[in-house]
Amino acid sequence: MAGPSLMDSLFQRSLDDIIKGVRLCPPGTEPTFIAKSLDEIRREVKSTDRQTKAIALQKLTYLHSLHGVDMSWAAFQCVELSSSSAHSHKRIAYLAASLSFNPSTTDVILLLTHQLRKDLSSSSVHDVSLALSTLSSICNPDLSRDLTPELFTLLSSGKPFVRKKAIAAILRVFEQYPDAVRVCFKRVVENLETTDVGILSAVVGLFCELAVKEPRSYLPLAPEFYKILVDCRNNWILIKVLKIFAKLAPLEPRLGKRVVEPICEHMGRTGAKSLAFECMMTIVSSMSEYESAVKLAVGKVREFLLDDDPNLKYLGLQALTMVAQKHMWAVLENKELVVKALSDVDVNIKLEALRLVMSMVSEDNVMEICRILISHAQKSDPEFCNEILGYILFTCSRNFYEVICDFDWYVAFLGEMARIPHCQKGKEIETQLIDIGMRVKDARLELVDVARSLVIDPALLGNPFVHGVLAAAAWVSGEYVALSRNPFELVEALLQPRTSLLTPSVRSVYIQSAFKALIFCIWSYGKLNGDDASDPSALTELVAKCHLEGNSETVACESLSDTEVDNANMVIAGGQMSSASSRKYHLTKESLEGLVNLVGTNLGPLAGSDEVEIQERASNVLGFIELMKPELYGHLGHTEGNGMKGKLEASEVVKLMFDVFSEELGPVSLSAQEKVPLPDGLVLKENLSDLEAICSDVKFPLSTSFSLVHSQIMEKDTASSPECKEESGPSTESTSLLAEHRKRHGLYYLPSENKGTTFNDFPPAHEPKDKTIDEAEDLAKLTEESLIIKKKQNQVKPRPVVVKLDDGEGLNVAVEKSKVKTDLISGAVREVLLGNEATTSSSRSKSSNKSSKRREVDRIPESGNDIVNTAISERSNVGSGRRKHQTHLSSGKEKEQHDHKGKQKRDSRHHKHKSRQRADGAMNIPVQSPVIPDFLL
């Protein structure tokens, strides 16, 4: 026993040895060295010699705090060492404890309670101070509860040094154990009147932290804070007091009126930037209704903005952002500085400036601001460029494109953004392009134009960041192909060879869009050539039905139907229409054949693609072309009349496909799913665990039907006759298995009359309108009533309708949950302050009339706000009529506010009351009525 102890003491490596050792370690061997040292420490720390233990613990603390070594295992040794009588040991033990203990997981903390209590009541200030520091960092509810009495004593300790630390530490105790507030709060408040700067600083800091959480409870203390604000000359304290007022002023308008003047004085007088900044922030955040003060503050902000110090510039911008919410003029005054900050060297400053600029955006200036920003974005580094784009996209789309009036501009702008080389916001632009397409009918014409220019540009295909945008553009041009100037060109663009650079998912969108465009061409061709099969009036109806109802679309519709009625009409209309109609002229058989061939040659190879999505879509198109070819050639040999039946079928298919594609896609409400009523008999909560037992006895056929090779062969087989592809069901083997299974376990299948038509029971994704629409679907779909039309008068160009769903999308704005949970601390604080005020009023009421007392008593049970007001009104009586002699009387006022302690001389109090009564004589009655009194302080 003695041996190792002596050896350990004599040959123990000191802290310096360890530090040097770590520093001298060759790279890579540090962990080994630390592990070795840890082994030593583990041994040494168990030594009975306190000095050895202390050094071991100190070394461990070093490794823990700077090298992240776990030292939770040594928690007990910390507790052991803390009981040493030597201050140096105590210091090491408490440092180790405060750095390594976790209040919620270290269980030996409780063992420290006794030692902490002993040290808190020690005669050595240094021991007390150590204990307080440690307590503040390892405080948990148990510790707080057990040590509250000691802290309570320390709060009025005669040694300022101790009292200050106790006040600071008690914040943590309050947080952990709110009941401590009831015991200690009064003493804490008493410390507000101290003359010692350290104590005052601590107590103000404490209230500052408490007020951040729940300011209302501290309103009754406003007079004390006001005194500090006026009298104190210590900047640290002033900053904290200003923070408290920034929290209190919004709750009590009269308070703002009172403090705004001294704050402005401080701002004007001080040379310290930190204090000036705090004054500035207090005014702009909480006293923005005082014009003159705001003017002063904005002047100061400008000083900051003009300063060379980047810190001040940054803070100036931040302050300006805060002003901007209520005083736009302040930003406009400093506009050139803000724009200049956009090209600052510091990213943080640039971001702040950007935020500020975006906060200014409104309907009137959105175009101008976006123009400025985009030119900045083009000049900036990629990171900031995307920051700008992100902000623009976010701001413009906010609340259903609230700030956008001119959607044509915005859509073109989106296209422009996508073309910026650094743009990485493809995803967002993609979403918005499609969203606008669906929500804003009037913007579709321009949208299709923008989409065309994006799709047609081969250069864009090489940039992976814009692939999302291209997908959206392709979808838009396919979906609204009826508005396209030249569908031929579109199909060409969608099938250009460079599309092989696209990701499969985007490419499949391209193929699908080409398909849509192709069907549109063939369909229009059929119509233009006065298809005998359908009568013209029915056709017009069809067109009207199938087309979307928007303005621009009707233009297209009319142009189509006009073509049939009178060819001469077409040339009359404006550019868009004439181009649309001229297109019709070029719709010749040859061009159509060319188009079909182009599609065929381009998509042919894709039918063997590895990507299922591409392969399937390409096969769809190819199958359709196969189907169409007889018709096209049928037209060729139209006079012969052969294949009349086949042609008819084909045109019907075209019509069908066209119908399918021209069904409008609307935005879907987020709550749509919830609105679908549960079908009868569908049991969702049924336990499916016994399904496993059933499944286990089903032999899964090891068929190759899932392999890609097989399906490709199938594809080839069916390519010539796509109709049969649809009919080809699952393999007979599996069908019979399935049927058998159904027979045995009917419970887990949807009920159906005839199993052949099971699939028809599901409603198609887009049901044609003439069918009776399911009620639930009706709700989910967009109806005319659900459109919220935002009318804007006095505009050159009326804002187009932006479709919003009546309720669903509001849901994600999250139902604001009211904070029911009342803060325990503030509850206790209120209780204590209320007690205070109650005694105040009762002691006062001796000299004032009885009614006031009764009023006080009556009002006590009421809720916090009233209590606070009452308390204020009591005090406010004092302030009236004294405004002129403020400085002179402030000391007297202070005394009066605390006369309830009874420490003042009787006669002086009597005198004060006299003066109060004199001053308020006339106002007594109004003050007593529930009306809010005039003065707070």
Partner 1 sequence: MIHFVLLISRQGKVRLTKWYSPYSMKERSKVIRELSGIILNRGPKLCKFVEWRGYKVVYRRYAGLYICMCVDHDDNELEILEIIHHYVVILDHYFGSVCELDLIFNFHKAYYILDEILIAGELQESNKKTVERLIDAQDLLEEVAEEDASSVNHIIAQASKNK
Q: Cα–Cα distance between 855 and 857 in angstroms, integer?
A: 5
333: left (phi over 0), alpha (psi -120 to 50) or beta: alpha
Give min distance, CB of 678 to partner 1, in A: 42
Rank residues 165 and 647 by Cβ distance to partner 1 and give the closer one: 165
C-alpha separations of 516 from 123, 500, 522, 837 in Å: 90, 20, 10, 78
Rank residues 147 and 420 by Cβ distance to partner 1 and give the closer one: 147
Rank residues 15 and 787 by Cβ distance to partner 1 and give the closer one: 15
Instruction: Give exposure, 516-547, as e/b (b: 16+ Cβ within 10 Å).
Output: bbbbbbbbbbbbbeebeebeeeebbebbeebb
Give min distance, CB of 465 to partner 1, in A: 24
Give min distance, CB of 232 to partner 1, in A: 12
Give min distance, CB of 57 to partner 1, in A: 11
Give min distance, CB of 39 to partner 1, in A: 20
Residue type for position 809? E
Give min distance, CB of 317 to partner 1, in A: 10
Rank residues 61 and 552 by Cβ distance to partner 1 and give the closer one: 61
Query: Which secondary-structure segment (H or E) carries 449?
Result: helix 444-456
- CB proximity list for 77: less than 8 A, separation 6 or greater: 45, 46, 53, 56, 57
Contact 663, 545 (CB under 8 A): no
Rank residues 161 and 409 by Cβ distance to partner 1 and give the closer one: 161
Q: Cα–Cα distance between 840 and 899 in angstroms, integer?
A: 8
Give min distance, CB of 825 to partner 1, in A: 15
Tokens of 378: 């083009």
Give min distance, CB of 716 to partner 1, in A: 56
Give min distance, CB of 281 to partner 1, in A: 8
- Gap between the terminal Cα atoms of the chain: 72
Q: Is 934 exposed, middle or buried (0-12, 13-18, 19+ CB in 10 A)?
A: middle
Rank residues 161 and 633 by Cβ distance to partner 1 and give the closer one: 161
Rank residues 286 and 609 by Cβ distance to partner 1 and give the closer one: 286
Q: How many CB atoms lie within 10 A of CB 699?
A: 6
Rank residues 350 and 804 by Cβ distance to partner 1 and give the closer one: 350
Contact 467, 502 (CB under 8 A): yes
Residue type for position 16? D
Give min distance, CB of 98 to partner 1, in A: 8
Q: Cα–Cα distance between 834 and 869 in angstroms, integer?
A: 11
Rank residues 57 and 471 by Cβ distance to partner 1 and give the closer one: 57
Secondary structure of residue 286 in the 3-state scheme: helix
Contact 168, 209 (CB under 8 A): no
C-alpha separations of 715 from 50, 607, 654 in Å: 85, 8, 22
Q: Cα–Cα distance between 347 and 383 in angstroms, integer?
A: 9
Tokens of 242: 């200003």
Count of CA atoms in the C-beta half-sphere (13 A) of 673: 1
Rank residues 10 and 765 by Cβ distance to partner 1 and give the closer one: 10
Tokens of 792: 């804007």
**Residue whose token pair is 């002047």:** 299
Rank residues 169 and 473 by Cβ distance to partner 1 and give the closer one: 169
Quote the distance between the C-alpha of residue 82 and its chain's center. 47
Q: Cα–Cα distance between 700 and 848 in angstroms, integer?
A: 95
Rank residues 128 and 448 by Cβ distance to partner 1 and give the closer one: 128
Give min distance, CB of 149 to partner 1, in A: 20
Give min distance, CB of 309 to partner 1, in A: 8
Rank residues 188 and 482 by Cβ distance to partner 1 and give the closer one: 188
Kindly compute the dihedral angle of the four CA atoms of residues 867, 870, 875, 878, in this order, to the nearest 10 degrees.
180
Give min distance, CB of 750 to partner 1, in A: 49
